[in-house]
Amino acid sequence: MEQILISACLLGQPVRYDGMSCPIECTRIDQWQARGLLVPVCPEMAGGLPVPRPPAEITPGGGPGVWAGTARVMTRQADVTQFFIKGAQAALEKAVACGIKTALLKQKSPSCGSCRIYDGSFSGSLVDGMGVTTALLRQNGIMVLGEDQIDQLLFKQI
């Protein structure tokens, strides 16, 4: 069975911007974790950001919700794009080193979102799009699913 890259917050690690986690309650995930098949990653921490940290969102550059070289990742006070790019690269390096072909990442995150992310206005509005890490992983042939797509992972042949 192949290893799976997984957002550390989904495994209960308090690494989110607010110092919290978002653990998945799933027997299969628990079994995979016990067997050492899950490789946790927090791209934002790997990129050098602390916990807690100000919330960040992708601001339009290539269009709403599109991560492109012209888009930026911003807090209300600062451009933190470089940390998100560095963290995405670290996540990709970890995935490649482990031969990982599938990732289960936290939806809505400017790093890990795979279908929906916040729109950059800090209003709580969502748009179709993906985070920096998801974009880089997908560009390198790694399938990325959000925690709301876990059924696809459970039925995927791994």
pLDDT-derived band at 150, boundaries 50, 70, 90: confident
What pLDDT, on a 0 to 100 scale, did the predictor assign at position 69?
61
Q: Looking at residue 91, what DSSP letter applies?
A: H
- Per-residue confidence (pLDDT) for residue 68, from 0 to 100: 57
| pTM: predicted TM-score of the whole model, two decimal places | 0.92
Is 72's pLDDT higher than 70? yes
pLDDT on residue 92: 98
49-66 pLDDT tens trace: 999 999 999 987 654 444
Cβ atoms of 91 and 54 within 8 Å: the answer is no
Q: In whole angstroms, what is the distance from residue 80 CA to residue 137 CA?
A: 20
What are the pLDDT digits (tens) for 87-106? 999 999 999 999 999 999 99
Judged by phi (left if over 0) then psi (alpha if -120 to 50, else beta), residue 156 lies in beta
Print the domain residue range for 25. Answer: 4-155
pLDDT digits (tens, 9 = 90+) for 1-18: 789 999 999 999 999 999
Average pLDDT of 60-84?
77
Tally of domains within the chain: 1
Q: In terms of DSSP H, where are the helices of 2-80?
A: 27-34, 43-46
Q: What is the DSSP string of 98-126?
A: HT--EEEE-TB-TTT-SSEEE-SSSSS-E
- Report the share of the chain in percent with pLDDT over 70: 91
Instruction: Identify the pLDDT of residue 94.
Output: 98
